Amino acid sequence: MFDFTKEQEMLRTMVREFAETELAPKALELDKRGEFPRDLVKKLASLGLLGISTTRDLGGSAMGHLAGTIAIEELARVYPSVAFFLEVGTGPVYAISHFGSEEQKKKYIPPVLKGEKIMCIAATEPTGGSELTNLATEAVLSEDGYVINGRKVYITGGGVADQCILLAKTGERASLIMVERGTPGFTIGRRQDQMGLRSVDVSELAFNDCKVSKDSVIGKEGSGFPIAMTTFTVARPAIGAIGLGIARGAFEIALKYAKERVLYGKPIARLQAIQFLLADMDSEIDAARWLVYYPGAALDKGASPRDIIKASSRAKAAGAGVGVSVTLKAIEILGGNGVSPEYHLARLLNDAMELIPATGTQQIMKIIQAGEILK
């Protein structure tokens, strides 16, 4: 087993209780309404969950990356939309806290960790998701700052965020640029309908002659790709953790059902076909657990983001895969009830499917992994 500290075990128990008391009763209704639960953001903040791996001087709880993985897994076991929101929020906070100026850190991070402000990170464009280097969005430097033009799609929290970190071409290279909501020329487009993660706002953003000051760049001008890649490397395992949490939630539902559903005078758990499904689910979950926990544990032990590139992409692909695969098996075990909303599995499967492209597709994860193997 993974060697968790007492603090990490306590965190797991606390988040599990929070998820069961605060999220489980609301999950179906929240999903049906498809509303972004802004009040829950405050609750996550009051539990210290918004800044688990951020240093204390910036308002974080400095519990480390593995602790963050555990919290996200436990939230996802019950309501993946909230886990996804938390995962995506860690990206901009990581980028600013590691690459931003002292002024940017003080200005932007504490309000996000207190749940007062929401930040999004906008890289994907209609003309190139995986081909991120083919950016059409451009920020042109003028005397009094940058003028940004372009469009972004699939931006988590785009419709509700107070600030957006944008990846844009600045000359030959790209930069990450902070744009505040309400800046003239920055418009929020349509909310993009999604099959799962129904409470998560995923929106299009447009920038038309949008002017921002020169000091809006995060890090140095031209360092957008290295910073974005480092940020994605650190954030991706959490997508795996959401898949793992979904798989565990689905497994527990299926196990309970298999013990209670009686056919031929005995629980269906006594049928070998059902036992084979349960055995496969158990193996898949435990195998994914190692891959998902590993990058966070390595970072906590002093590894650099560079050291975990392979482990990070592997964790994302494995966790997202197990979320779909185990939930499908759970649906099989429940028969007709498997696809009934009240048993939550259809919702969990739809949520798991959203993880397949998020933060890079499964194919892109394998390309990154293979690139590291072949070095």
Ligand X SMILES: Cc1cc2nc3c(=O)[nH]c(=O)nc-3n(C[C@H](O)[C@H](O)[C@H](O)COP(=O)(O)OP(=O)(O)OC[C@H]3O[C@@H](n4cnc5c(N)ncnc54)[C@H](O)[C@@H]3O)c2cc1C
Residues of this chain that interact with ligand X (CB under 6 A) are 88, 120-124, 129-130, 154-156, 194, 197, 202, 354, 357-361, 363-364, 367
Q: Residue 281 or 322: which CB sits closer to ligand X?
A: 322
Supply the minimum distance, in Å, between the C-beta of residue 84 and ligand X.
7
Alpha-carbon span 86 to 39, nearest angstrom: 13
Supply the minimum distance, in Å, between the C-beta of residue 232 and ligand X.
9
Residue of minimal Cβ distance to ligand X = 129
Supply the minimum distance, in Å, between the C-beta of residue 156 and ligand X.
3
Q: Residue 298 or 320: which CB sits closer to ligand X?
A: 320
Q: Residue 66 or 317: which CB sits closer to ligand X?
A: 317
Q: Which sign does the torsion angle of CA 257, 259, 263, 265 carry?
A: negative
Point out which residues pair with 47 in neighbouring strands: none
Q: Residue 119 or 212: which CB sits closer to ligand X?
A: 119
Buried b (16+ CB within 10 A) or exposed e, 317-329: bbbbbbbbbbbbb
Supply the minimum distance, in Å, between the C-beta of residue 17 and ligand X.
27
Supply the minimum distance, in Å, between the C-beta of residue 194 and ligand X.
6
Q: What angle do helix axes 65-78 and 224-260 make, rounded to 10 degrees?
A: 40
Supply the minimum distance, in Å, between the C-beta of residue 198 and ligand X.
11
Closest CA to 358 of 65, 35, 88: 88
Q: Residue 124 or 170: which CB sits closer to ligand X?
A: 124
Q: Residue 69 or 199: which CB sits closer to ligand X?
A: 199
DSSP one-letter string for 53-111: TS-GGGT-----HHHHHHHHHHHHHH-HHHHHHHHHHHHHHHHHHHHS-HHHHHHHHHH
